[in-house]
Amino acid sequence: MKFKRDEYTKIWDSLNKKQYLLDIIIGPRQVGKTTAAKEIMSKWAGHVHYASADMGLSSGTGWITFQWNQARSKPVNKEQTGLLILDEIQKIHDWSNTVKGLWDEDRLLNHNIKVLLLGSSSLLLTKGLTESLAGRFILHRFTHWTYSECKKIFNWDIDKWIYFGGYPGTVQFINEIDSWKQYVNDSLIDTVISKDVLSLQTVNKPALLRNLFSLSAHFPAQILSYNKMLGQMHDAGNTTTLAHYLKLLESAFLVIGIENYSGNIIRTKSSSPKLILLNNALITAFDTKNYIETRKDLVWWGRLLENAVGAHIINSSQSISTKIMYWRADNYEVDFVVTSGQKVWAVEIKSGIPGKLKGMREFCAKYPEAKPVIIGPGGISFEEFFSSCIQDIFK
């Protein structure tokens, strides 16, 4: 069964407009970026040239120039526009400057070619976009699959999505839990760390970076100081190195360390991070328990619910002004604090553990402008929350 994600239509419409801008798709591996690009290829009226830098055949910026010239050399029909698709473009060093030169040359020579670029490293892509291609592109974000998508296409209920996370390529293995975990670890986690982090960034301690990811998977939605993290790992390192490696994992759409909310931005930046994995499959694939055992462990299930809420807010927040943090002061804590401009929401997840609203009351007393949001029994149901657009919840 074919399923087109909502972003597909936006990309198709953008490519078919008369203005010439680069269309760029960014997002995690195995969430449908290449599938969407190939669906566009199959329907494109003009000539199409596709190439991927992930095939191991690329050799610097000359590869981009070669592929671009291949697209230019296709038979020309004045009434039809050509399409060039370059996948995993961030693997080419200095890709953005080369694309800028070729793109500007096309405009000068009136080449009738649209260009679609795809990438799975936000750090390398956004760096190239801001440094070289300002004003020349439209950015399309593919996120991890939502509950609504998995419910629609796989007929999953909320519990199954919380556990399995929703990578579409893993669905074939969910009835064989050992095979499912092996697939997630080998084909997703190890591939992303090896290809999108270690091979593209300077990482002096790769074992430390891998251990940091493993630690995050074992402590989802928990606040850990960098010193405590170092105490959990055997590799020699320092807090600055760990903070940098956490940013690299974030750039590969794996883990984000959100900060403590404070009226003082300096204090916020120096806070201990709360670890949020952007897909729950990245957690449960590391766990020894199966689906039924996990569902019966109420404390661990509560962690998965809290992580899923945080990930849903992060994945769904397209506005640069929307921020997600947590709050902890003395013995009080709020699961998440969402801000948008001057607006503040305090978010608590009720998963059956009593006494959690004390932190909410303390936070709202300290920050009276904050609006409380409760997710779970007595508040917004999990079904409603995960089926909703974040902008509708926080408005």
pLDDT for 355: 57
CATH topology of domain 6-141: Rossmann fold (3.40.50)
Pairing of strands 343-349, 371-375: parallel
Contact 12, 40 (CB under 8 A): yes
Are the beta carbons of 190 and 49 closer than 8 angstroms?
no
Residues 155, 149: Cα–Cα separation, whole Å: 9
Q: What is the pLDDT of residue 93?
A: 84
pLDDT value for 92: 87
Pair 226, 239: CB distance under 8 Å: yes
How many C-alpha atoms does 177 have within 13 Å on its Cβ side? 14
Along the chain (395 residues), what's the average pLDDT of each consecutive run of 10 residues?
A: 82 91 92 93 93 74 93 78 92 89 92 92 71 85 94 95 94 94 95 86 88 95 91 78 92 94 65 95 94 94 96 82 91 94 92 74 94 93 93 84
Dihedral angle sign, alpha carbons of residues 12, 191, 223, 383: positive
Helix intervals (H) in 85-146: 95-109, 122-132
pLDDT score at 131: 74
Do the beta carbons of residue 144 and residue 162 sit within 8 Å? no
Q: How far is CA 3 from CA 31, 43, 140, 278, 369, in A?
A: 12, 15, 18, 22, 42
Other CB atoms within 10 Å distance of the CB of residue 247: 14
pLDDT reported for residue 382: 95
Question: How many C-beta atoms lie closer than 10 Å to residue 119's C-beta?
Answer: 24
- Sign for the pseudo-dihedral over CA of 217, 218, 223, 224: negative
- Provide the whole-model pTM: 0.91
Sign of the alpha-carbon dihedral angle for 233, 236, 241, 244: negative
Query: Domain segments of the chain: what residues?
Result: 6-141, 147-393
pLDDT of 130 reads 74
